[in-house]
């Protein structure tokens, strides 16, 4: 439901094609045409799920919080933190590039969700942070009732 509502919120912010990146428990990257048509999207684990899966699925990786400042990490905890954050940023940028091939260079990218600030610091792609995008979508829906 959050995906749809966030797209409705994005449509209220632009009449051009849009990509909504919602960074929560899961990361969703959804595309909206300039005509307002939902074109589809991708869903994959968010930062916490990525990190937890490494701790649960491998022997010897501690559950310690690491520092994701530098991808040249010198400890395992920092390596997990950096690898998941930089990896997530790379995956999101790849999807943005793919969507731009379909939707054109004027496609707007909106970033929302609890982990959006961490991801925003590592994204090279131009984007607009909108922390309350789902609420903006709900307001648009309420205005139509």
35-72 pLDDT, tens digit per residue, is 999 999 999 999 999 988 988 888 778 767 888 888 89
* pLDDT for 144: 86
Between CA 86 and CA 65 the distance in angstroms is: 16
User: Is position 2 annotated as part of the catalytic site?
Assistant: yes
Model pLDDT for residues 88-120, shown as the tens digit of each residue: 999 999 999 999 999 999 999 999 999 999 999
Mean pLDDT of the chain: 92
Cα-flanking dihedrals φ and ψ of residue 125, to 5°? -65, 140
What percentage of the chain has pLDDT greater than the value 70? 99
The single residue of 2, 67, 78, 132 carrying the catalytic annotation is 2
The CATH class given to the 2-132 domain equals alpha beta
* pLDDT for 112: 96
> Rounded to two decimals, what is the model's pTM?
0.91
* pLDDT for 91: 96
């Amino acid at each position: 439901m959050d995906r749809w509502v966030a797209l409705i919120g994005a449509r209220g912010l632009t009449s051009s094609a849009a990509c909504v990146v919602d960074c929560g428990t899961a990361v969703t990257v959804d595309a909206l045409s300039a005509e307002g048509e939902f074109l589809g999207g991708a869903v994959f684990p968010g930062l916490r799920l990525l990190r937890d899966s490494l701790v649960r699925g491998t022997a010897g990786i501690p559950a310690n919080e690491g520092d994701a400042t530098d991808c040249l990490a010198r400890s395992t905890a920092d390596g997990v933190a950096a690898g998941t954050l930089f990896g997530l940023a790379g995956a999101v940028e790849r999807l943005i590039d793919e969507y731009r091939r379909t939707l054109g260079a004027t496609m707007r990218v909106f970033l929302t969700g609890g982990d959006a600030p961490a991801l925003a610091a590592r994204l090279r792609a131009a984007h607009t942070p909108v922390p309350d995008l789902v609420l903006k979508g709900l307001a648009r829906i309420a205005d139509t009732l």
